[in-house]
Amino acid sequence: MLTLKQLETFVQVVELGTFEKASQRLNATQSTVSKRISELEQATGLHIFDRSLRNARLTEEGEQLLELAYLTIDSANKIRELNKQPESKLHRIRIGFTELTALTWLPGFLREYTLERPDIRLDVTIDMSRTLYQQFQDGELDLVVIPLVPEVFAQPGVETLLLEKVEMAFMARAGLVDGPRPLPISKLESYTLISQGKRSGFAQDVNRWISHQGMASPVQITDNLLALVGLVTAGRGISVLPKLCVQRFAQTQDLEILETLPQPPTIGYYALYHSGIRVSLLEEVALRLGKAADFTRPFFV
């Protein structure tokens, strides 16, 4: 059987040049050193030393083994050091966020949390919620912050925590939509409806609600939230958007909130994370996310 002690003895013999010097360095008998080298040769099936010479000289096979022995010993030393490091230094969490989070409270959270917990490394992914959820299911992400999708309820081993509910509202370029407020939904049917695509969680919820109101499906689609706001501001149509966030970063004279009957539903943003051996750590991060979550304030305003 190949052992680490055999490899360490082998390296000492090579570095010191003789079995005798190696035995002194290792505080072992010369016969013990010889036995370990013989066992190493038997375990590997290699002829390591040319014993026809007085000093221990490596064969070609021995040279190849020496390189691997150094790598193996170095890895073993790193493993031994693990218990000397604080456990918290080992934490790495792969976490996914949507564009709305990235535009609002995420930069502030990352700045503060990095100072609070330098022992935790957050590997951040920004993408559409459906893509993030698929990566979460595939085990590529440990935690995601997305609008909750119905499939979550049927998936075992997933914990959920509501972070915040986002108020949604119809929005249009100022002056585009006439009529007394609040507007019946039927009054909006003549306007072009712009939305994010199917990979957006909140867009799916909103479009499902719009369909239930008897309105036609969105005509224009863009997955970029800022581009969507730009199209609405340019008067290309109307859209259901995160009310307070968009209101704050869009020029008030260019964009108008359309009060309607009924109002669009609020969208809940949840932290989803896997239960298991790291559930307490992920729960701690999720709770901290809940304290930071504020979808009403763009970070750049």
- Asked if 183 and 260 count as a contact pair (C-beta separation under 8 A), the reply is yes
Q: How far is CA 286 from CA 76, 95, 143, 271, 282, in A?
A: 35, 10, 8, 6, 6
Segment 21-38 mean pLDDT: 88
| Overall fold of domain 4-84 | Arc Repressor Mutant, subunit A (1.10.10)
- pTM of whole model > 0.75? no
Q: Spell out the alpha helix ranges (H) of the chain.
A: 4-16, 19-26, 30-44, 60-81, 99-103, 106-116, 129-137, 201-212, 225-233, 243-249, 279-292
Q: Which of 14-18, 26-30, 241-245 has the lowest mean pLDDT?
A: 14-18
The two tokens of residue 267 are: 């969208």
- The per-residue pLDDT for range 109-160, each reduced to its tens digit, is 999 999 999 889 999 999 999 899 999 988 899 999 999 766 555 567 889 9
**pLDDT at residue 88 in the model:** 45
Share above pLDDT 70 across residues of the chain, in percent, rounded to a whole number: 91
Residue spans of the domains in the chain: they are: 4-84, 90-165+268-292, 168-261
**pLDDT at residue 241 in the model:** 92
Q: How far is CA 278 from CA 91, 115, 140, in A?
A: 10, 22, 15
Q: Same fold for the domain at 4-84 and the one at 168-261?
A: no
**pLDDT at residue 284 in the model:** 94
**pLDDT at residue 40 in the model:** 87
CATH 3.40.1080.10: does it fit domain 168-261? Answer: no
Amino acid at 47: H
Length of the chain: 301
